[in-house]
Amino acid sequence: MDVVEQEIAGPLDGVLVRPSSGGVAGVLVLHGSYGRGIVERCRLLARSGLVALGLRWHGGEGQPSGICEIPIETFTRALDLLRDAGLERLCVLGLSKGAEAALWLSVLDRRIDAVVALSPTAVTWQNLGPGTDGQSRPGRSSWTWRGEPIPFVPLDEEWEPEAYEYGLIPLRGWYEAGREFCPDQYETAVIPVEKTTAEFVLVAGGDDRTWPSLPAAEALRDRRAAAGLPTVLVERLAAGHRPTLPGEGPATPSTQLLYGGNHAEDAALGADAWPHILRALHGPIR
């Protein structure tokens, strides 16, 4: 399927990719803190009949260089753009910290019809890098809503990995230690996914070495199940932090962080998840 691309500039920075034949469902695509860009993923979704808006939401000109007190309103404005384009169904797909944002967006903006969270978390973590003031410490929330920081879990700044693997840092232990480091804050930082009736597809690898996304996905599923809300969880024990969807190339190797998995396992996880992702994003068959 042919697609049409349009760069978005101004208050929002991103790319809009749509099928040349049009579409009725739009998906906001959010990258994480590291890794692949968003254009390839938007093209893939557009070739599947979806209007995809890939948002560059940190690290660009005039944006915070880190993920620190990012207004959730940044993403609601992106939804405004999709709604103004006349789309009937609004969805969000995010990876890692982008999945964290996607979950909060679905809770705070009731226009969201479906959420796809790749390698998600179940709680809000402290900032990664500096905010607009250029300061990284002391730790602050990754997100704000209506000018107020969203409750978050602080991380132990003195944490050191027990060992480096292939010269890369496995951060998973840092996040796993967060619950014991600040147990009270952990409970208040849980993302209340039972407050949205959006469809949920969670995708996680058991060998994620960046953070414990599979246990987090299971916690999200169980929280929704307790409220009578269905959730699709697609997992693969040998996959890592960066699942790749059918048609995407291998994720760019990192020179710093250990993501876990490998290309074959990450691609297999993406292939397993792909039909569930398309069904959720497109919505009921008309």
Taking CA atoms, 112 is separated from 27, 56, 145, in Å, by 9, 19, 17
Average pLDDT over every residue of 135-157: 93
Q: Over the stretch 3-51, which tens digit does the pLDDT of each residue have?
A: 999 998 888 899 999 999 888 999 999 999 874 579 999 999 999 999 9
Q: Would you say the C-alpha torsion 169, 241, 158, 256 has a positive or negative sign? A: positive
| Res. 65 pLDDT band, cuts 50 70 90 | confident
Where do the structural domains in the chain lie, given as residue ranges? 3-282
- Within the chain, how many helices (H) and strands (E) appear? 7, 11
Tell me the DSSP string of 104-143.
HHHHH-TTEEEEEEES--SBPBBPBS--TTS---S--BSE
φ and ψ at residue 256, rounded to 5 degrees: -130, -50
Q: How confident is the model at residue 160 (pLDDT cuts 50, 70, 90)?
A: confident
pLDDT band at residue 285 using 50, 70 and 90 as cut-offs: low
Q: Are 155 and 129 in contact (CB under 8 A)?
A: no
| The pLDDT of residue 184 is above 70 | yes
Domain 3-282 bears CATH identifier 3.30.930.10: no
| Nearest to 52, CA basis, from 13, 90, 83, 26 | 26
* pLDDT > 70 in the chain, percent: 98
pLDDT of residue 286: 53
Euclidean distance between CA atoms 246 and 231, whole angstroms: 22
